[in-house]
Amino acid sequence: MLIPLLLALLLLPRIGLGADYYLSAAGRDTNSGASPQAPWRSLDKINGLILFPGDRVLMRGGDSFYGTLFFDAYDRGTAASPIRVGSYGTGRATIQAGEGDGIFAYNTAGFVISNLNVRGSGADANDGAGIIFYTDLPGGVKLDSITLSKLDASGFDHAGVEIGAWNGTTGFTNVAVDGVRAYDNAKNGITVWGYDAPGFKGYAHSKVYITGSFAYRNEGLSGVNEPTGNGIVMSNVDGGRIARCVAHSNGTRNTSSSGPIGIWAWRANRITIQFNESYGNRTTSGAADGGGFDLDGGVTNSYLQYNYSHENDGAGYLLAQYDSAPLFKNNVIRYNISQNDGRRNTYSGIMVWSKSPLEIVNSHIYNNTIFISPSTTGNVCGIRVASPTSSLSVRNNIIVTTGGAPLLCVAGGQSGLAVQGNSYWSNGSPFKIQWGSTLYSSLSAFRGTGQEMLNAVPTGFNIDPGLFNPGRGGTIENPSALTKMLEYRLTANSPLINRGIDLKARFGVSTGTRDFYGTGLPQRGAFDIGAHELAY
């Protein structure tokens, strides 16, 4: 009876025991690996283990380790007692992955990976990802708990950090990516993806949070059909957030007709993208996108709010729906700032686009501030509605253009479009609104379309909005300092103070509780127009 009992005890998970395994470039694989004084040298020693909850894999800071660190379903931590992988001593250890993955975790979770550098052989030479968690288990399971923090991942083909799944609704939950720098990769900086097929319902992942991270110089690939050169992209997620991140200088080699974006989501539900800066993202001439932010095909119940987009080739903020996507509805762009976006091709500060027969449905664009000047390589517009929509509203926005750029461009075929309470300022150039095939040269003439009217009362303004220094926002590079950008605040004598439409009272549209700068809504009992609510 004693032998079967001992076998049963050996097979139980070692919850909370927590063995430590050490690696050093000066170590030897004949050592015990159990202490800094007797470390192993190679990643293969870790790959040959079965890891249990509470175990730690520690690599000496400043040292490099070559190859791939691989975990599978036998290596499984828990949320309460995760397997930890990181550095010890001074500085960060580096995994030199060569042409493969840096860390590959297959059908497992319960990990905290932190304080490491992961290097590939270069975007053109590598064929892997810096850190990838991937599952294809049957049964729609959600593997629980992944934390990736204080990581530096560069030189990979697929991504610096990748969370992926491909078996129906199987995926991961409680995923936190924080303080990651993903740069000089090919296709993506940070990406989350799952199973997708026409007519498929459900989501692979839930509770995914990407915060405090930077994605830059992920240049993309030429000659491929997929959008490459993304900064941060989240898809197949129900319940997620991208916050206080920076994406810039991505997508420079993209040639795809479905191009890259700095920070975006597609085929997802309940996504919030907030407090981010996205700038200088690119695409090539004749290709698509290269924009700042995007809620794309199949996104529902999601928000772009409190972000700063500037100097992107594509739209600053995009609502887009491709032809095979699930329904796109109930999405909001609010209290954002766009400066000189749409530098290439035909884009704008805020743009709405869909491919027939699908449309953008029941979505709202309000209280944003847009500044846009002409571009020698782009056909710019303040806000562009480029295709038919259903029940779209555009309200309480400030649109400032220079050099004769049009303020608003709307394609025909709209159903239930409401344009109300916006401030238009062409800064000394002729007033221009393109409505279908008609160009309007005054706000009063534009009202003849039935827009900028509410209950037979004129709305909207053609007046200098009284911003501090529009067009001079510059690059912040620190999401915590976005609220210190004074250039798009209203001055004390702005004519737009207390002139906004009360969207909650009039239309049942919730404005949230704050503006771009963190000021509570409303001040003095009424709403201002634009992204700033002036407080005395």
3-state SS, 83-117, equals: EEEEEECCCCEEEEEECCCCEEEECCCCEEEEEEE
**Cα–Cα distance for residue pair 247/307, rounded to 1 Å:** 12
Residue pLDDT, tens place only, 152-176 = 999 999 999 999 999 999 999 999 9
**Cα–Cα distance for residue pair 488/337, rounded to 1 Å:** 8
Q: What letter represents residue 72's amino acid?
A: D
* Annotated domain spans of the chain: 15-195, 219-483
pLDDT value of position 389: 97
Percent of the chain with pLDDT over 70: 97
Mean pLDDT of 64-86: 98
Report the SS3 class of residue 64: strand
Whether the CB-CB separation of 382 and 399 falls below 8 Å is answered with: yes
Least confident of 180-184, 197-201, 415-419, 447-451: 197-201
pLDDT value of position 7: 37
pLDDT value of position 33: 98
**Cα–Cα distance for residue pair 177/194, rounded to 1 Å:** 17
pLDDT value of position 14: 46
pLDDT value of position 414: 97
pLDDT value of position 353: 98
Which letter, b or e, does each residue of 21-42 get, where b requires 16 or more Cβ atoms within 10 Å of its Cβ? bbbbbebeeebebeeeeebbbb
**Cα–Cα distance for residue pair 183/231, rounded to 1 Å:** 8
Whether the CB-CB separation of 323 and 358 falls below 8 Å is answered with: yes
Mean pLDDT of 257-267: 96
Residue 16 has pLDDT above 90, yes or no: no
Residue 499 has pLDDT above 70, yes or no: yes
DSSP labels, 328-356: EES-EEES-EEES---SBS--SEEEEE-T
**Cα–Cα distance for residue pair 374/145, rounded to 1 Å:** 47
Burial class (CB in 10 A: 0-12, 13-18, 19+), 49: middle
Q: Cis link prior to 357 (omega < 30° from 0)?
A: yes
pLDDT band, residue 423 (cuts 50/70/90): very high
Residue 5 has pLDDT above 90, yes or no: no
Task: Look up residue 531 and give its two tokens.
Answer: 């992204």
Whole-prediction pTM value? 0.96
CA 73 to chain centre: 30
Residue pLDDT, tens place only, 402-420 = 999 999 999 999 999 999 9
Residue pLDDT, tens place only, 500-512 = 999 999 999 999 9
pLDDT value of position 536: 78
pLDDT value of position 11: 40
Residue 15 has pLDDT above 50, yes or no: no
pLDDT band, residue 393 (cuts 50/70/90): very high
Residue 220 has pLDDT above 90, yes or no: yes
Arithmetic mean of pLDDT over the chain: 96
Closest C-alpha to 535, from 473, 489, 486: 489
Mean pLDDT of 82-90: 98
Which letter, b or e, does each residue of 449-482 get, where b requires 16 or more Cβ atoms within 10 Å of its Cβ? bebbbeeeeebbbbeebbbeebbebeebeebeeb
Residue 324 has pLDDT above 70, yes or no: yes
**Cα–Cα distance for residue pair 41/30, rounded to 1 Å:** 9
DSSP labels, 149-170: EEEEEES-SSEEEEEEE-BTB-
